[in-house]
Amino acid sequence: MVELYDTTLRDGTQGEHINLSVQDKLLIAARLDEFGMDYIEGGWPSSNPKDEEFFRRAASLSFRHAKLCAFGSTARYPDSVEKDSNLLGLLASGVPVITIFGKTWKAHSSKGLGISDEENRLLIRRSVAFLRSEGREVFFDAEHFFDGYRDNPRFALEMLMAAAEGGATRMVLCDTNGGTLPHEVAETVRVVLEKTGVPVGIHCHNDSDLAVANSIAAVMAGATHVQGTINGIGERCGNANLISIIANLMLKLPDTRTSVVDLAQLTSLSKFVFEILNLPSDTKAPFVGKSAFAHKGGIHVSAVMKESSLYEHIDPALVGNRQRVLVSELAGQSNIRYKAQELGIAIPETGDQIRTLVKHVKELEHKGFQFDGAEASFELILQKELGSFTPYFTIQESKVSIESAQDGRKVDQAVLKVEVGGEIEHTAAEGDGPVNALDKALRKALIRFYPEIRSIKLIDYKVRVLEEKKGTSAKVRVLIETANGGSTWGTVGVSTNIIEASLQALEDSMNYHLFTLKASVPKPEGAES
């Protein structure tokens, strides 16, 4: 049975651009417990006040399953471990499990700490023993173990034995610099298991792009405790990604009897942590990324639809993810049908409609349109062809002007002439940049007819230059992501003029919103109702 030990809240926060408040850490800890993590390392209590506050407040979390752990180093002086502020801080955190790290690479002990082998041995043994005598379970993190073992196996193993003698219940072998290869990890784990007889854990970093593989190699060699972080966050290239490790162990190595409450929560756990970190999620992430089960290419797609298991290594539902078909430049009939099906739209099996549709989509793609991130624009095209959508408004004229002078005067202004249900609305607005001005002017023009657009918000705006070699007259593709409460949709525009491309995407965005609400087009004044 393999134990899962999460260090997102401690080692994960060493990553660049990673910042978690105490409240964030409490939220993540509760979620990790709910998910079924066995151990949750909350921080290093005596290293900073934030971690101390975390442990104070975490005392009121009542975990269903997980054990909360505190992290720290061995004592500074072997003769006074009972007075060591670091160890006392660890005890004060009140947690049942304490993980302490010690030096197992001789160079770090002799050069870094400047102590003799015997002093280091005593530090480790006595620190562990003191914490044990206070009734805590103690895991020993053997820092730089693989480098240390390669360099001087006798020294490295002696330090482990010291921890075992002190009463440590796990020997956690750390590939601190992340440079070890899987076959070396496996060999070393086997030796340690044989020599110490204590359950072995593994803690890897991804500097060689091998952290997940190294963790799995350790488990296959007999390790029964795996440390890592959600989404692999952590210093430099990150820690071993527990998301990938858990999925691999549970789905591909069932003999390891790794377990969580519900593996189908894996994708939402990953997203949740990215959300709390305020980082965009990794679309390419194995198992949980948005692209992890996305298929591109005509022939291939029809085969995927025939029998998914032939094209997917696991059923995406097992990890809470789903299959996606990308409508791309390789778009054939089958891609369009699949996408329509996903959107819940029925397209006649044969006839002109599907042919016209394929032709139209191909033309648009040739112009530089792409619907990967703009499914709303794609749906409008479909619905228009099927006769179920008619645009809610028409932009008859647009004029944008951008003026700036050396004295700092700046005016970005948009003027629009918009036709709605036979009426013409002529509006103007100033904005922060020309696209913002256009957005404001369009809303102003429409809001009288469609108050529903008041609640929508532009949340993302992307520009990609196509045909880059054409310099400043290149075509650009603009992708806009709009939200209304919890739901979001993407639209696209393409032109050599970035303002025009943006306007196209804005138009689609508002039309899509009105379409999904089945808003009614106002009748021209004087017309019968």
Q: Give the tokens for residue 362.
A: 């191909």
Helix 22-35 with 49-58: angle, nearest 10 deg: 50
Closer Cβ to a second copy, 118 or 467, answer by number: 467
Per rule CB under 8 A, is residue 54 in the interface with a second copy? no
Closer Cβ to a second copy, 169 or 177, answer by number: 177
Per rule CB under 8 A, is residue 366 in the interface with a second copy? no
Q: Residue 423: beta bridge partners?
A: 420
Among 460, 487, 520, 524, binds a second copy (CB under 8 A): 460
Q: Please list, in sequence order, all residues whose beta carbon lies within 8 angstroms of the beta carbon of residue 276, skipping any fewer than 6 positions away.
A: 20, 24, 27, 28
Q: From CA 54, how far away is CA 503, in angstroms rounded?
A: 48
Per rule CB under 8 A, is residue 499 in the interface with a second copy? yes
Q: Give the tokens for residue 403.
A: 């003026």
* Span near a second copy by CB under 8 A; candidates 75-83, 120-128, 349-357, 393-401: 393-401
Find where tokens 């399953």 sit: 65
Site string for a second copy, 324-353 (x = CB under 8 A): --x--xx-----------------------
Closest CB 359 distance from a second copy, rounded Å = 17
Site string for a second copy, 115-144 (x = CB under 8 A): -----------------------------x
Per rule CB under 8 A, is residue 167 in the interface with a second copy? no
Among 292, 336, 381, 492, binds a second copy (CB under 8 A): 292
Residue 472 burial (10 A CB sphere; 0-12, 13-18, 19+): exposed
User: Which residues within the stretch 191-220 sit at the binding site for a second copy (CB under 8 A)?
Assistant: 206-210, 212-214, 216-217, 220
Per rule CB under 8 A, is residue 294 in the interface with a second copy? yes
Among 94, 199, 222, 286, binds a second copy (CB under 8 A): 286
Closest CA to 233 of 285, 183, 175: 285
Closest CB 482 distance from a second copy, rounded Å = 9
Instruction: Say how many residues touch a second copy, by CB under 8 A.
Output: 121
Under a CB-based contact definition with an 8 Å cutoff, are residues 463 and 475 in contact?
A: no
Under a CB-based contact definition with an 8 Å cutoff, are residues 226 and 201 in contact?
A: yes
User: Which residues within the stretch 227-256 sit at the binding site for a second copy (CB under 8 A)?
Assistant: 232, 235-238, 241, 244, 247-248, 252-253
Q: Residue 507: beta bridge partners?
A: none
| Amino acid symbol at 177 | N
Neighbours of 187 (CB within 10 A): 14
User: Which residues within the stretch 406-445 sit at the binding site for a second copy (CB under 8 A)?
Assistant: 406, 410, 412, 431-436, 438-439
Under a CB-based contact definition with an 8 Å cutoff, are residues 24 and 12 in contact?
A: no
**Three-class SS state of 263:** helix
User: Which residues within the stretch 1-20 sit at the binding site for a second copy (CB under 8 A)?
Assistant: 14-17, 19
Q: From CA 435, how far away is CA 414, in angstroms rounded?
A: 8
Name the strand (E) or helix (H) holding 493.
Answer: strand 487-495
Closer Cβ to a second copy, 81 or 319, answer by number: 319
Closest CB 85 distance from a second copy, rounded Å = 14
Site string for a second copy, 80-119 (x = CB under 8 A): -------------------------x-xx--xx-------
User: CA neighbours within 13 Å on the CB side: how many for 99?
Assistant: 29
